[in-house]
Amino acid sequence: MAFFTLHRAFTLRTTKGHSIRFEKGKRTWVPPLCHEDVVSIGAVPDDAEEGDVLPPDKAPIVDLTPEQRELALFDAFEKLLARNDRGDFTASNQPHCKKLGAIVDFEVSIPERDEAWRKFRVQRASAGEEAA
């Protein structure tokens, strides 16, 4: 989609080094780099069937319940332990919050990590005792 129509005569000078002159109601070719700029001044794409000019909106953020967050953290702990990368853990042998956040796709605070890590270790220890 490269052609746009504007409802008025106007010359758009972009910060990207392009100058685009629109005539009222006439199709005008626009470089792909400037599509967002011309949409912001009210130009309408002529080739609507080719797709949208603006990037898609981000997916809505779904709030997880505390139980779901804890389960996601437990899975992340398992992945970090299986990967066994030295950079995934702090000097006190706790998972880095940023590494956890990258796995679970939400921000993990230090208190949340500490509580979940404690529960995870207790759960693993009790499972190990039961198996013995």
- Give the pTM: 0.53
Q: Could you report the per-residue pLDDT of 26-55, keeping only the tens digit for each? A: 999 998 888 889 999 999 988 654 555 566
pLDDT band at 99 (very low <50, low <70, confident <90, very high): very high
pLDDT at 1: 55
**41/43 Cα distance (integer angstroms):** 6
Report which secondary-structure segment, H or E, holds 44: strand 44-45
Inter-CA distances, 14 with 31, 32, 34, 76, Å: 11, 13, 8, 45
Tokens describing residue 72 = 């996601």
Sheet holding 44-45, edge to edge: 28-29, 3-5, 44-45
Mean pLDDT of the chain: 85
